[in-house]
Structure 1
């Protein structure tokens, strides 16, 4: 019973076809309150279609789609969401404050203008015309528009494209605050370090199906590959010939080694060079795990 209360959006056996193309092939996906889900996948995996179904922009050909237990096109359900799409066309002559007030008027209990501006970090932009902003500034304003209605579910599609490092870090902090307040967030991004930094759960799609569903740590654990770095005079070319070593290169005084059996290689390194120092062993990151998972799936499908 508790799970039903916590569920804010779901796809159950969702199928969507565009002519001969099957964009979603019986997709099951559920999102809970206060959860940040990163929806990842190569181009054409079905990410945009899944989000379009949840937003009520398109209808499923089969299966069930629910938003707060209702049809996604239900106005009461739609008033509980916020959306930041990859591109947006907004009235260029309006000021940022005017855009925010207009958007806030669509919601029953929006945040105040001051609260929205502070959370999105756009207090210095309120008086400026939207058309006069840089691309990164416009993305920050679009983020503010998405959260001003006090959504319980927020869709963020490539939210930090065009932002500098400082603006990106501030947006990450705002996202974490929203999650802490109980807002559920669906994040799609090509910046896998962004998903790794923010997501509590990662769903990887390919060909309209779920390849993996779990924590960042669980996805990384599916890839045995690790990176070893150390200070050593050992010959990199010779190490590259060792068993379980994928590659070995030299970065100045350091050796950089890719391996699928880190403990085995570390023992051999220490035996070969007792003077070895500053040893680091790093598991595969999310980007490496994602690449390996989608590559394996593509290879299996080609073989079939």
Structure 2
């Protein structure tokens, strides 16, 4: 049984088609990163999987059941892009409240310790910094020991150390068998975490494959070298072997040759720029 199944789903907002006949399947224990520009349809897709909205056409299933059924959502953890925390409640109270909706929640103290919030348990959420609120939001998505977690831009607003700490928490959850579907504007985040990448734009899935296969779809190689004057050069070429052969044949002096494949950012840019359907709405 799939952890998440989206089959032939279309969702409109007035005249705007947010999702256009989208199908996606996420197996138990997968960690899938979803990329796309603003307005691509990523958050709309997560809202359907979480049962907050229903599709105009098509089928959405969470753990084989309708996500709009409250009983189904007991397997789900969710961190939306924006989390409205009650400003006067204390951190510990908020976690206790959310955990009370699940049959076997993670002890509040243990969860706060994991996310570096143990010293803030008595603080009102309204006094937290943006990064602290983000860490709390992700912590709350895991309090119920869910089998599936949806993370919509989970590390937005965090500094490098805060982002790294959340990456570790996501990896730990996934290593325990949890299923993760995350969106991110940080391409390095998806490259660091995801085993599989889904690229979505104009409400359509442009790519859905392993990280390695998505990267291989970019037809360029990055060649770096140091010339005779000591200047570092960089070339994007379709055939690195031919480029190096021509370089050697020409007698050009160089050293410190380095050749690598495309980054996820380059792959993403090429997919969105060259594969998006003409005339589609952003």
Contact 1:27/1:210 (CA < 8 Å) preserved in 2? yes
For residue 15 of structure 1, report the CA deviation from its aligned partner: 1.5
Residue 286 of structure 1: aligned partner: 264
| Structure 1 segment 136-175 matched on structure 2, within 5 A | 136-175=131-170
Residue 301 of structure 1: aligned partner: 278
| Structure 1 segment 1-304 matched on structure 2, within 5 A | 4=1, 7-233=2-228, 253-273=231-251, 275-298=253-276, 301=278
For residue 273 of structure 1, report the CA deviation from its aligned partner: 4.6
1:101 and 1:19 map into 2 onto residues whose CA distance is: 39
For residue 162 of structure 1, report the CA deviation from its aligned partner: 1.1
2:40 and 2:233 map into 1 onto residues whose CA distance is: 37
For residue 168 of structure 1, report the CA deviation from its aligned partner: 0.7
1:216 and 1:88 map into 2 onto residues whose CA distance is: 29
1:31 and 1:277 map into 2 onto residues whose CA distance is: 46
Contact 1:14/1:26 (CA < 8 Å) preserved in 2? yes
Name the CA shift for 1:165/1:273 in 2 (closer, same or farther; >3 Å): farther
2:249 and 2:109 map into 1 onto residues whose CA distance is: 62
TM, length-normalised to structure 1: 0.88
- Structure 1 unaligned blocks of 5 or more: 235-251
SS in 2 for 1:57: coil
1:207 and 1:132 map into 2 onto residues whose CA distance is: 38
SS in 2 for 1:109: coil
1:65 and 1:9 map into 2 onto residues whose CA distance is: 8
| RMSD across aligned positions (CA) | 1.7
2:52 and 2:80 map into 1 onto residues whose CA distance is: 13
Number of corresponding residues = 280
